[in-house]
Structure 1
């Protein structure tokens, strides 16, 4: 086996040689050397080449390319190829195909055309994994195993009869008895009481709204089912490759919400993820930063792998704009700033055909004589110079809590506002802190919160008693806890906590809410500090808290909008609405000042600053996402430009620096 690239940021991406004639392969290796590629992910979608017919395997082409990559010093992250079945498999066994909520079979012709619960599909997938693991476990190019690809990207949830049977088994394990399930689901409502496990179905399309806890449990079931599938492949590989790390690529970009990665992360030897800039977002670069902090949180603060991102345009948005010159480097360094020690792309060579033929790649259609490939080569050289950053960690005094179960529950049917999105408050507060040069860890509510000076609790609609107590304990120990609207409302079964909102946090905050007044899209409410609130408002009473801001108009005029309560050594803040950026920013300035949280360095909106640190030193990442030149206080050696800087660092528009300090 080969060690994962050392002494440099690993640089490479998905390689699909089966798409090209063999004479292209040698040109690929020449260009990889030119670009500084140190690893490739191989074989992700190659099942139909590896097993062209049932039980007949063809590994000659893979042997050849593995040997060539090894001879050229390129590490291989070898995929199990089980992400998408070959046509012969779905033709012979159509029962493995997924089914949507309306009962339509999702036919082959795309990718991920398989039911997550199918034992038959698992049987074939494990047979292929066994063959690959036994054949390549000691290959000199092998450095990592890559299980499947982007689990649940297209085939979850599935509502077929196979899933119905598996769901019942999962429910029996979770709830134990029908009496416990009926209590958890609140089936006394609408005559839904179950008297036989066989009567329970997936939450398929029905006459009107589905039972919210039924829907929530089905989300849990889907995530657990695919995790079990992943672990079955992991165990096959581990028997053959006890020393080779194993991973699968998450999709922690906030638009992807089907898997509870907090459950998945402990089963990765190294956490890896994919991220693509979503240009339709109002603040796409801020979402990229949030994604990095979330992935680092999943990795327990350790460095992580960016398995895929794009050099330029993608192919799946309504409009797919190219990245501006320098954008490939800038986006990549933004990921490294947040803890990535590997930079991977989809893909090495841009495809000539297929659904992703207009998805950008390291080698574009224009070939090596292109500005984009020259930028790729420049990034490869930067990745080499950044080797000293490997293994360093990111400092953060602020925690932003993120919980997939709360997200699923809040996305369920019959909520007070379907326009309310779980991520809005989290992204907004994270973005405003980023603009202030403050780094956050994005972590699960059950994480150890004792080391944070500020804990942000955004729209934590569903929360367990234990996690609510941990959040209160953080405030008592000295943290400033900032809780937003629609938090603490339900328990783990999505049952409303009675006695007044915000339920689990009512005593901590000293606030009691009798009724919600959700705001319509583009509707706002005036605040007494001169700002406005959006998304949400509510009829609150400060039972044991100081009123900081009130509503200034509408039916709630004079009622509390923002409150503060001293809690032993700390402070608990409550936001009953989402203030505009100026008002919320001013409140966060107060929280930062009182809690003692300082900026990495002083900056301005659009200029991102993050510090990575190890026992051997520290590195200041400065990323100018704006169209204007900027300057920040920094001294040391810039690894990007290979120049000494200080006491002021000057950056051109859309450029970055990584300053070795001291």
Structure 2
């Protein structure tokens, strides 16, 4: 990559620093302590608007100047934020339209953060003014390695400004009201629109239901797209202001993994580098964290920044457990294994007041370099200094791709039915987990990516199947690809209109079947699937009832209902490739059985079978033009063993020791980064 950030070396190790919350005479000591932990960077100015502009049009950069000068003196790299993620009180008081209106139609008052209406002309004008002044002052500082716009974008607004902007957005999307009415099937419940001004944002006092679902799914989908685009327009406004003064330094904003509000694939096109905040809970599977990293990598098919993680514990989850000794280090290297080129935290110093005072930090309330967490941070920083610059040029490669689709995520949210237990992200993770457990690399991709780069493409619950996608899938399979999908996929088009003529008809050439209906399984259901070798697994949530054409059954339903012994899982040959259909959602045993068959039938290159002794060991590979980097990581709190096949001249970069083929013992949360020549 050509961006300035990726030429920086050593690897950025640091995180959010908020010295404005502390007396100035403590800042020098902070940086001296952080240097002892091998910290080399700081993200600053994330929420400082009220300090930078204490009243409209009056700017005061004196405190930020001192912070920047001190960081420069200590040779810290700077990630400079724009401070537009939290409104100052004077603005909310003077211009109430900058405050969002919630889904119940209530105008929010001053408070919290991430609280600006993206379509408020006053917010846009004032944000532009602040960023212009900020960039004018600090562009050209050689220690600024990245610009960080706003913070953790998300949320919705339903105000009059948004209503007007929504109508304009719709006029660009649809050529006429007639086209819009047709797309939304607006004759439903007398919703036909005869004037653009009749259209209002769908919220919970208009067209959305309190417990989920919407009157017109197409309208609610368009509003979700519009809100994502509105926030993206705010990002692009700030980006353009920065670019006018600084043509090279990368620009980012921090994402939040699988969060629902924004279409990250669309956003990533406007970003120089993706960054994201990784906050697993005490019971988050390592596979889910890995999937989230792979999704962030897949947004641009390029390395990303790990912008935030906690070195010890969160403070906003239901149960904020401490990280075990070594777990902070393990999670840092797991992120790098899946494409991170930085290791950053929230926060460098623990706050003494406010809602983040119990959130962990490298410098804790103990204010000591002798704490367990501080010492572990120092070890991570020292380890990162051992890694070669070539690692930053390395990338991931995969045979398997899994589609993540925000439009399907949204559309399922607006659908009334069929089962409250149907969760989009859970289903994507269920397929990811099998390949993760077998150390098969997976790319997380969008429906717009090139399928031909992959031996297999998996589309879990691809509920929305936009026009033209069927041709792409059928062509991919006919040319030799393998496509796997499951129940509730290919149900609606991009306007939330259900396809007619039978479910899966659009990709009938690929799947060799179609479906007329599905049954819904309550939690007490005993329905199972029986594979052709008589092994069984539990069926969950829904069961699609299919009509076979050329498809062959791999498993059938075992139930006391009328569809007993009918096909549940099928395989079809189409051209040189294959289509696989899974008519239900399987339990973990079922996913294991299914995955084993897919690996065999597709011919994926994998020889690894997890055992009790190796369970929880992750092997992930990055490659540069000249080197291979195997990250062998024990994600568990127990000692594990792993049979590793070493390449010639392999060595662990963290210890400098040669690594030979054979059984390796990994202590709890241990990590090896094994370099070998290609």
State the TM-score, normalized to the length of structure 1: 0.96
599, 624, 640: which one aligns with 1:614: 624
Three-state SS of the structure 2 residue aligned to 1:84 is: coil
Instruction: Note closer, same or farther for the CA distance 1:49–1:335 as it changes in structure 2 (3 Å cut).
Output: same
Deviation for aligned residue 1:107: 2.2
Residues 1:380 and 2:381 are matched in the alignment:
yes
How far apart are the structure 2 equivalents of 1:4 and 1:357?
Answer: 33
Residue range with higher mean Cα deviation, 332-341 or 102-111? 102-111
How far apart are the structure 2 equivalents of 1:640 and 1:354?
Answer: 38
Instruction: Note closer, same or farther for the CA distance 1:493–1:524 as it changes in structure 2 (3 Å cut).
Output: farther
Q: In structure 2, what is the equivalent of residue 543 of structure 1?
A: 549
Residues 1:347 and 2:347 are matched in the alignment:
yes
Three-state SS of the structure 2 residue aligned to 1:305 is: strand
Deviation for aligned residue 1:579: 2.0
Paired residues, what number? 654
Whether the 8 Å contact between 1:425 and 1:484 is mirrored in structure 2 is: no
Q: In structure 2, what is the equivalent of residue 333 of structure 1?
A: 333
Whether the 8 Å contact between 1:480 and 1:591 is mirrored in structure 2 is: no
Matches within 5 A, 1:434-583: 434-521=436-523, 523-529=525-531, 530-555=536-561, 556-583=563-590
Q: In structure 2, what is the equivalent of residue 652 of structure 1?
A: 667
Q: In structure 1, what is the equivalent of residue 676 of structure 2?
A: 661
Instruction: Note closer, same or farther for the CA distance 1:86–1:449 as it changes in structure 2 (3 Å cut).
Output: same
Q: In structure 1, what is the equivalent of residue 255 of structure 2?
A: 250
Deviation for aligned residue 1:229: 0.9
Whether the 8 Å contact between 2:105 and 2:205 is mirrored in structure 1 is: no
Residues 1:585 and 2:600 are matched in the alignment:
no
Deviation for aligned residue 1:522: 5.6
How far apart are the structure 2 equivalents of 1:607 and 1:3?
Answer: 31
Residues 1:149 and 2:151 are matched in the alignment:
yes
Deviation for aligned residue 1:600: 8.1
Deviation for aligned residue 1:518: 2.0
Whether the 8 Å contact between 1:296 and 1:303 is mirrored in structure 2 is: yes
Deviation for aligned residue 1:8: 3.0
633, 637, 646: which one aligns with 2:644: 633
Instruction: Note closer, same or farther for the CA distance 1:600–1:624 as it changes in structure 2 (3 Å cut).
Output: farther
Per-residue Cα deviation, 1:221-279 (whole angstroms, up to 9, x for no partner):
00011111110111111111112221111112x2x110001111111111211221034
Per-residue Cα deviation, 1:376-420 (whole angstroms, up to 9, x for no partner):
000111111123411201121000011111111111141312321
Deviation for aligned residue 1:374: 0.4
Q: In structure 1, what is the equivalent of residue 157 of structure 2?
A: 158
Three-state SS of the structure 2 residue aligned to 1:306 is: strand
Residues 1:219 and 2:224 are matched in the alignment:
yes
Whether the 8 Å contact between 1:624 and 1:653 is mirrored in structure 2 is: yes
Whether the 8 Å contact between 2:484 and 2:579 is mirrored in structure 1 is: yes
Residue range with higher mean Cα deviation, 81-90 or 577-586? 577-586
Three-state SS of the structure 2 residue aligned to 1:513 is: strand
Three-state SS of the structure 2 residue aligned to 1:307 is: strand
Whether the 8 Å contact between 1:178 and 1:197 is mirrored in structure 2 is: yes
Whether the 8 Å contact between 2:543 and 2:583 is mirrored in structure 1 is: yes
Whether the 8 Å contact between 1:13 and 1:40 is mirrored in structure 2 is: yes
Per-residue Cα deviation, 1:185-221 (whole angstroms, up to 9, x for no partner):
1011111000011111000224765211111111000
Per-residue Cα deviation, 1:519-540 (whole angstroms, up to 9, x for no partner):
2246451112322111221222
How far apart are the structure 1 equivalents of 2:523 and 2:283?
Answer: 17
Whether the 8 Å contact between 1:5 and 1:75 is mirrored in structure 2 is: no
Whether the 8 Å contact between 1:276 and 1:309 is mirrored in structure 2 is: yes
Residue range with higher mean Cα deviation, 597-606 or 422-431? 597-606
Instruction: Note closer, same or farther for the CA distance 1:601–1:363 as it changes in structure 2 (3 Å cut).
Output: farther
Whether the 8 Å contact between 1:103 and 1:160 is mirrored in structure 2 is: yes
Residue range with higher mean Cα deviation, 229-238 or 509-518? 509-518
How far apart are the structure 2 equivalents of 1:521 and 1:227?
Answer: 40
Q: In structure 2, what is the equivalent of residue 643 of structure 1?
A: 657
Three-state SS of the structure 2 residue aligned to 1:362 is: coil
Deviation for aligned residue 1:465: 2.7
Instruction: Note closer, same or farther for the CA distance 1:228–1:210 as it changes in structure 2 (3 Å cut).
Output: same
Deviation for aligned residue 1:4: 6.0
Three-state SS of the structure 2 residue aligned to 1:535 is: strand
How far apart are the structure 2 equivalents of 1:107 and 1:523?
Answer: 47
Three-state SS of the structure 1 residue aligned to 2:68 is: helix
Three-state SS of the structure 2 residue aligned to 1:514 is: strand
Structure 2 segments unaligned to the other structure (5+ residues)? none
Instruction: Note closer, same or farther for the CA distance 1:602–1:633 as it changes in structure 2 (3 Å cut).
Output: farther
State the TM-score, normalized to the length of structure 2: 0.93
Deviation for aligned residue 1:447: 0.4
How far apart are the structure 2 equivalents of 1:292 and 1:312?
Answer: 20
Question: What is the RMSD computed on CA atoms of the aligned residues?
Answer: 1.7
How far apart are the structure 2 equivalents of 1:168 and 1:361?
Answer: 45
Q: In structure 1, what is the equivalent of residue 263 of structure 2?
A: 260
Residues 1:288 and 2:289 are matched in the alignment:
yes
How far apart are the structure 1 equivalents of 2:246 and 2:676?
Answer: 40
Whether the 8 Å contact between 1:43 and 1:81 is mirrored in structure 2 is: yes
Structure 1 segments unaligned to the other structure (5+ residues)? none
Instruction: Note closer, same or farther for the CA distance 1:2–1:365 as it changes in structure 2 (3 Å cut).
Output: farther
Three-state SS of the structure 1 residue aligned to 2:606 is: coil
Whether the 8 Å contact between 2:430 and 2:591 is mirrored in structure 1 is: no
Q: In structure 1, what is the equivalent of residue 203 of structure 2?
A: 204
Deviation for aligned residue 1:112: 1.8
Three-state SS of the structure 2 residue aligned to 1:68 is: helix
Whether the 8 Å contact between 2:617 and 2:640 is mirrored in structure 1 is: no
Matches within 5 A, 1:394-473: 394-473=396-475
How far apart are the structure 1 equivalents of 2:656 and 2:644?
Answer: 18
Deviation for aligned residue 1:638: 1.2
